[in-house]
Amino acid sequence: MTMPTLLDVIAAAERLRGRIVRTPLVSSPSLSGTRTSSVFLKLETHQTTGSFKLRGVSNMLLLSGQNAKGFVAASTGNHARALAYAAQQMGKPCTVCMSKLVPENKVQAVQALGANIKIVGASQDDAQEEVDRLVLSEGLLAVPPFDDKRVIAGQGTIALEILAENPHIDTLLVPLSGGGLAGGIAMAAKSIKPSVRVIGISMAKGAAMVASLQAGKPVTVTEEPSLADSLGGGIGIPNHYTFDLCKTYLDDTLLLTEDEIAAGIRHAYRYEQEIVEGAGAVGIAALLADKVRSSGTVAVVVSGKNIDMAVHQALISENQKI
């Protein structure tokens, strides 16, 4: 099983041209100076569907989905939004399986993008079983959220854009969950500029990839509620690609408390005028918490904006209990 390479990422970038937003890389005066000399924010919050996920999903569908009857996935958030949008752009049907515990606002957000929603069971494991059944019974193409070469290559295009726009970047701060984003970016960035440091950042509660890297193999963890809910979940056992990519290419990992993540969300709103979900705010949060120091130039991947707005309002009003 061959790992994705820089050539896969370059091909993905060409494939995605005109189909995704080339998101802005903006200077952050509020984060530059004391903690590091210069900080830039890669705003995937400006991506269509509000997160980086559209890159990987679109690359997979363009490569392998032209002859598919339709697509299916188990997701409650950004992956589902991306799949629904990309399938709609291709004129193909899309089914998203969710458990009955998923809040109605999340169901409606995906449904609004044209997806057929199937509510199954009381967990995402139950939802995944329905995905597997639909693949066999209806011939739908399953679209995995991270552990897939085509998806990883799509996410890696973020590194190409960052280094093309600012080749002086010395350190990349990337949200770390299943490893498709962090692994893809780290592999692509280091293939272009081996000296660049790539740090994966997650929440202290239930960080599966960090626990797996510490154990030296993929392991399961107990999933806990977190403001960075998009970083939750397992990495898959077996894991085919992302564990090895993160093990090979990440220079370090960092874990953040809920209070630190909340501070990152507040800072993004007050000083950057950006609405950012918890997972997207972890790089900013790590800088604010003095967990990253660099005398060089830092790029922070701000991965998405799809936060519950009632939670966001409470956080920026500092009324939310963590």
The length of the chain in residues reads 322
How far apart, in whole angstroms, are the C-alpha atoms of residue 115 and residue 84?
A: 5
Sign of CA dihedral 150, 71, 16, 46: negative
Structure tokens at 9: 């990422």
Least confident of 35-39, 44-48, 260-264: 35-39
pLDDT digits (tens, 9 = 90+) for 125-168: 788 899 999 999 999 999 999 999 999 999 999 999 999 999 99
Per-residue confidence (pLDDT) for residue 222, from 0 to 100 = 86
How far apart, in whole angstroms, are the C-alpha atoms of residue 147 and residue 157?
A: 16
Per-residue confidence (pLDDT) for residue 107, from 0 to 100 = 86
Report DSSP state, residue 304.
B
Asked whether the domain spanning 69-139 has the same topology as the one spanning 6-52+148-316, the reply is yes
Does residue 104 or residue 298 have the better pLDDT? 298
Domain 69-139 has CATH 3.20.20.80: no
Q: What percent of the chain has pLDDT over 70?
A: 98
Tokens 């050539």 belong to: 7
| pLDDT value at 299 more than 70 | yes
Report DSSP state, residue 51.
B
How far apart, in whole angstroms, are the C-alpha atoms of residue 282 and residue 205?
A: 13
Mean pLDDT of the chain: 93
The residues, ordered by sequence, that sit 6+ positions from 293 with a Cβ below 8 Å of its Cβ are 35, 36
| pLDDT value at 113 more than 60 | yes
Query: Which whole number is the average pLDDT over 48-53?
Result: 96
The residues, ordered by sequence, that sit 6+ positions from 97 with a Cβ below 8 Å of its Cβ are 72, 73, 74, 117, 118, 120, 127, 128, 130, 131, 134
Per-residue confidence (pLDDT) for residue 322, from 0 to 100 = 47
pTM of the shown model: 0.94
- Domain positions in the chain are 6-52+148-316, 69-139
Per-residue confidence (pLDDT) for residue 318, from 0 to 100 = 74
- Please state which CATH number belongs to domain 6-52+148-316: 3.40.50.1100
Per-residue confidence (pLDDT) for residue 319, from 0 to 100 = 52
How far apart, in whole angstroms, are the C-alpha atoms of residue 143 and residue 60?
A: 8
At residue 189 the predicted structure's pLDDT band, cuts being 50, 70 and 90, is very high
At residue 208 the predicted structure's pLDDT band, cuts being 50, 70 and 90, is very high
Per-residue confidence (pLDDT) for residue 105, from 0 to 100 = 77
Q: What percent of the chain has pLDDT over 90?
A: 81
At residue 112 the predicted structure's pLDDT band, cuts being 50, 70 and 90, is very high
How far apart, in whole angstroms, are the C-alpha atoms of residue 279 and residue 228?
A: 4
